[in-house]
């Protein structure tokens, strides 16, 4: 199972549909579980809001989880490297794989330290709703790469 912890909700129906489509495609391989963390009401006060959201993220992470933080300042990787990361995890590990998507103001140091690594999917900035679609698409792309299913190119 892959758990994605994300701050906020998806408001766009079209994005929800696309995400559901990739989840259906993944149904035989991985179950994707979404954990939504509410945006802080103290959102305008950056630091207070970030700490509140980060504390709520950490509450959803179990002790044995393997956690990757999606972060523009993280380690850059392409689709092949990401597929290798997933393949290695599911080949050698029974622990829950967790991806964290922080709020628009990021996460605090405690979440960064809890992550095994910080991964960057691009130097571009994406709306958090759209990034959820990008992440689940890359998970599906990784599945197709690892199982020699025509899709990747």
In order of start, what are the domains of the chain with their CATH numbers?
2-146 (3.40.1280.10)
pLDDT in tens, the chain (153 residues): 999 999 999 999 999 999 999 999 999 899 999 999 999 886 555 778 899 999 999 999 999 999 999 999 999 999 999 999 999 999 988 899 999 999 988 999 999 999 999 999 998 888 888 999 999 999 999 999 999 999 866
Task: Write the DSSP string, 83-105.
Answer: HHHHHHHHHH--SPEEEEE-BTT
- Give the β-pairing of 2-7 and 32-37: parallel
Asked if residues 35 and 3 have their Cβ atoms less than 8 Å apart, the reply is: yes
Does the reported pTM lie above 0.85? yes
Compute the distance between CA of residue 20 and CA of residue 133 in angstroms, rounded to an integer.
9
């Amino acid at each position: 199972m892959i758990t994605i912890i994300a701050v906020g909700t998806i408001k766009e129906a079209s994005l929800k549909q696309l995400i559901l489509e990739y989840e259906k495609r993944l149904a035989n391989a991985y179950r994707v579980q979404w954990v939504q963390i509410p945006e802080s009401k103290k959102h305008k006060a950056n630091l207070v809001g970030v700490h509140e959201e980060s504390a709520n993220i950490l509450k959803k992470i179990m002790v044995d989880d393997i956690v990757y933080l999606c972060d523009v300042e993280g380690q850059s990787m392409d689709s092949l490297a990401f597929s290798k990361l997933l393949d290695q995890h599911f080949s050698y590990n029974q622990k829950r794989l967790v991806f964290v998507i922080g709020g628009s103001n990021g996460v605090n140091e405690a979440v960064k330290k809890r992550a095994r690594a910080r991964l960057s999917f691009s130097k571009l900035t994406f709306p958090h709703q759209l990034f959820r679609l990008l992440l689940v698409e890359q998970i599906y792309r990784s599945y197709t790469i690892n199982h020699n299913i025509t899709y990747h190119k």
